A and B are shown apart, each in its own frame.
Chain A
Amino acid sequence: MTASRKLLLKIKNSLPGWRLIGGPFLFGFLLLLTPLLLMILLSFWTQDYLTLDRTLTVNNYVEVFSHPVYFTLIKRSLNISLMVTISTVLLAFPIAYYISFYGGRRKAILLFLITIPFWTSYLLRIFLWKIILGYNGVINSGLMSLNIIDEPLSFILYNTNAVVLALAHAFAPFAILPIFVSLEKIDRSLLEAGRDLGDSAIRSFFRITLPLAMPGVVAASLIVFIPTIGDYVTPRLVGGTDGLMIANMIQVQFSKANNAPLGAALAIVSLSIVVFISLLFILFNRKYLRRQV
Chain B
Amino acid sequence: MTKRAPLSLLIFVVIYLVFLYAPVVLLPIFAFNDSAIIAFPLEGFTMRWFWALGEEESLFRALKNSLIIAVSASILSTCFGVLTARAIARHEFLGKRPIFGLIMAPLFLPEIIIGVSILIVLLQLGFSLSIWTVIAGHVLIITPFSVSILTTAFGNMDKSLEEASLDLGENRFGTFRRVILPLVAPGLISSLLIGFTISLDEFVIAFFLTGTDPTLPVYIWSMLRFPSKLPTVMALGFVLLVMSLVLLSLFEYFRRRSEKLTGGYGKTQHHVGQEGE
A residues apposed to B, CB below 8 Å: 10-11, 13-18, 20-21, 23-25, 27-29, 31-36, 38-39, 42, 91, 94-95, 97-98, 101-104, 112-117, 119-125, 127-129, 131-132, 134, 136-138, 141-142, 169, 172, 222, 226-227, 229-233, 237, 247, 250-251, 254, 260, 263-264, 267, 270-271, 274
Given A125-B23, A131-B26, residue A20 in contact with residue B117 (CB < 8 A): no
In the bound complex, residues from chain A placing their C-beta under 8 Å from that of B86 are 20
In the bound complex, residues from chain B placing their C-beta under 8 Å from that of A120 are 23-24, 27, 237, 240-241, 244
Given A27-B140, A38-B120, residue A124 in contact with residue B237 (CB < 8 A): yes
In the bound complex, residues from chain B placing their C-beta under 8 Å from that of A134 are 39
Encode B56-94 as 1/0 by CB contact (under 8 A) with A: 000000000000000000000001110110111001111
Q: Cβ of B204 and Cβ of A267 under 8 Å apart?
A: no
Given A32-B140, A271-B113, residue A18 in contact with residue B241 (CB < 8 A): no
Given A38-B117, A102-B5, A267-B116, residue A113 in contact with residue B17 (CB < 8 A): yes
Report A224 CB to chain B, min CB distance, Å.
12
In the bound complex, residues from chain B placing their C-beta under 8 Å from that of A11 are 94
Closest to B114 in A: A32
Report B158 CB to chain A, min CB distance, Å.
20
Report B223 CB to chain A, min CB distance, Å.
10
Encode B207-244 as 1/0 by CB contact (under 8 A) with A: 11000000001001100100000000110010011001
In the bound complex, residues from chain B placing their C-beta under 8 Å from that of A123 are 203, 217, 220-221, 224
In the bound complex, residues from chain A placing their C-beta under 8 Å from that of B224 are 123, 127, 237
Q: Cβ of B83 and Cβ of A117 under 8 Å apart?
A: no
Q: Cβ of B116 and Cβ of A264 under 8 Å apart?
A: yes
In Å, the complex CA distance between A31 and B139 comes to 10
Q: Cβ of B39 and Cβ of A125 under 8 Å apart?
A: no
Closest to A40 in B: B117
Q: Cβ of B102 and Cβ of A29 under 8 Å apart?
A: yes
Given A28-B140, A94-B13, A103-B2, residue A169 in contact with residue B20 (CB < 8 A): yes
Q: Cβ of A17 and Cβ of B241 under 8 Å apart?
A: no
Q: Cβ of A98 and Cβ of B117 under 8 Å apart?
A: no
- Among B103-111, B170-178, B185-193, B260-268, the stretch in contact with A: B103-111
